[in-house]
Each structure stands twice: as structure tokens, then as C-alpha cells.
Amino acid sequence: MLHGRRVVLGVSGGIAAYKAVELCRRLVDAGAHVVPVLTADARRFVGEVTFSALASEPVQTSLWDGPDPIPHTRLGQSADVVVVAPATARVIAAYAAGLSDDLLTATLLATRAPVVVCPAMHTEMWEHPAVQENLATLRRRGVIVVDPEVGRLAGGDEGAGRLAGPETIVAAVERVLGPADLAGLTVLVTAGGTREPVDPVRFVGNRSSGKQGHAVAEAAARRGATVTLVTTVGRPVTGGIEVVRVATAAEMEEAVRAHADHADVVVMAAAVADFRPKAVAGEKIKKEDGVPELVLEPTPDILAGLAARRRPGQTLVGFAAETEDVRAQAEQKLRRKQLDLIVANDVSRPGAGFEHDTNEALILGADGVSTAVPLMDKRGVAEAVLDAVVATRSTRP
């Protein structure tokens, strides 16, 4: 995916700049043409000679000192992707605010290529509301943010803020530059857990964070699809994705029905509650009134309804969150609901399922093909799910 692709590698001034040396080497080894751009502060941590020796072109550092009168424009226009690793709080803030006081930030504003930002900083800085708001702004604009890892930091502290590993960043760049194999298709994705009201302040729900469904929607958009995301959570979404926000299973069913007839692919990643209170109290139930009798009724089976009215050529993908007999339960659901694919995971396993940033899954196809996806970030799982969708559709007559 990277062979012959032009990567502008921006390095800003944090101690994690030393890791950018390895990132540069890996990108070159993968076939990319790497152009390193170092900020003045980055040069305090790493030497220009090192990057010039490893990269495809000599290091560039200044808007003013080279022979090109407008280096940022040339860099921005010629890039297939711009990667900033590490991205300091200063660079993130400047990019979000549209400030261009050096070659790197000017290049970021002068490009229409995809941008991958890889933050690295101390935990207190990473968690500061200003940093998080700036990153949310960049995500809304379509910037890919590779979140930092939790681990040992400069000074011996432990916490979130360590630059993601070079292999993780290279994988993110590969995904960004991957084939547009969903171009021309309309993809409908659901995400999050529904909340079924008991009274005006309480609900029956589950622990779904919506991270996996949102990751699928983002990945489908990157691969060229026109994407509609029906979600119960308020997570940031890349520009260009149509977002429909719902809360209950009934609202999700209505939204899905409104969009499913036009979708080539439907990925039901949402954790829809199986039951809801039969009667909803109009006022908050008081503890002093005693324990209420809570009578439940089934919620609509949205996925089964889709299968019953699917149009020719439509691909249906379901999810199964299980705690035992994962394959058997998933196979049964695959057949019962007449799906093309089902993505099953054991939510009792460490690091998998609800609320985590990582997941592992077993993808089963109606054609008998199965794919085991090892524990990885949910973006990687999303790509694996879409790979299975593409493979399934390619075998149809």
C-alpha cells in the first residue's frame, strides 16, 4: 500500500522524537518516499543527519532558508499523506487554530492530503481539556488521530501519553492509503447501546460505548463508501459521514428502516437492548414508594426485520456479544437471522468487547468461511470486518 507513496513526516519537539527515527525507517522499508520536516524544537532532541540518512530526501526545517520560495505549498500539494509523530500540544493547538508559524504547521494547512496526527506528551497535558478539545476539532475535520499508549513516560512516570508504536502508526498510514474498495457503495452502520426508559431519569441499557461501530463507519468512509451512522453515543465523527442520533431500540429501528432500503451494506454493530419496560413511569420513581414492579417486553428485532425485507445484492452484517460458546452462538444467530456475516466476540475476555479501545473477534460467513481476528485496536477490527464484506461481495454472481 505504501510503495511509491509520498509521505511527509513531520516531527515536533518532544522526547518521543527519537521514535520517529524508527518510524521513518519502517516507512521507507515499506516502499514509501519519505520527506522529513523537523520543527526547531524537534532538532533539540534528534539530529537532522539521522533523518537525512534514513529518509528519501534531506530534512527540511525552514520556510525561509531553502531554494524553494514556497516550500510548504510544494510539500502539501505533493504529499499522499502527512504524518505528524510525535505531535506536541503546541503543534496540535496551532493546527486546530489554523496558525502557521513554521514549515510544519504551514504544510499542514497547505495540504489536501489525509493527515495522521500521533500525539505524545505527559499524562497531565494529554488529559487537559484544551488538548482534548483541539483533538476533537481535528477529528471533526477528518484528521486521523492515533491515540498515545499507556506506559512509561519521560521522568519515570507511568500513564497515558506515550507515542504509539511505529508499527501502529505505519498500520494507520496503510489504512489511510488503502484501496478505495467500497467506492460507489452506500454503507449503513449502527453503533452504541440503546437505553430503554424506566422513568424520566432511569433506563435499562448495557455497557456498549459505540467505539466499534464508530470505527466501522470511519473505516468505511476512508475506503470510499457513502456512510450513514445511526448511533446512540456522542463520539466525534469524521466529516462526510451522515450521523443520525437515537436513544431507544424503537428509535433505532425507525432510523434503520428509513435508510436501509438504499444501503448496499448494513453493519449492525449496535448493542440493542433485548427487553424494555412495558410501561414507563411519567414521574421519577421514589425509593420511599417501595420497589416497583418492572414488567419487561421484547424490543423489536431490527436485524431479523432487515433480513426479511432486504433488497437484492444487499449485504447484512450482524454482531454477537457473547460470554460462552461464542462460535456456536454466533453460528446459530447467523443462520436464524439469515445474515451474510456475523462478528462474534467474547466480552468476558480481558481487553475485548464493551468500553475497551481494543477488541478481538471471530468473523463467520454464511459461505462457511471464518476469520479469527486477534486482540487489536478497534480500528483494526473494523478493517477486518470490511475486508470480509468486500470478500463476500466479490464472490457473488
* Residues designated as active site: 206
The H or E element containing residue 380 is helix 378-394
- How far is CA 359 from each of CA 3, 97, 153, 283, rounded to the nearest angstrom? 29, 34, 25, 39
Q: CA 277, CA 219: separation in Å to the nearest integer?
A: 35
Question: In the chain, what is the greatest distance between 2 CA atoms, to the nearest angstrom?
Answer: 80
CB 327 within 8 A of CB 364: yes
Q: Which grid cell sits at 57?
A: 530526501
* 3-state SS class at 50: helix
> CA 247: distance to chain centroid?
21
Instruction: Show Cβ contacts of residue 394 under 8 Å, excluding neighbours closer than 6 positions.
Output: none
Q: CA 381, CA 387: separation in Å to the nearest integer?
A: 10
- How far is CA 36 from each of CA 11, 60, 141, 174, 257, rounded to the nearest angstrom? 7, 6, 24, 18, 49
- Helix 211-222 vs helix 166-176: crossing angle, to nearest 10: 50
* 3-state SS class at 327: helix
Q: Which of 317, 382, 379 is nearest to 164 (CA)?
A: 379
φ and ψ of 176, to 5 deg:
-60, -40
Query: Sign of the C-alpha dihedral, residues 113, 114, 118, 119?
Result: positive
- How far is CA 71 from each of CA 78, 87, 107, 111, 143, rounded to the nearest angstrom? 11, 20, 8, 12, 22
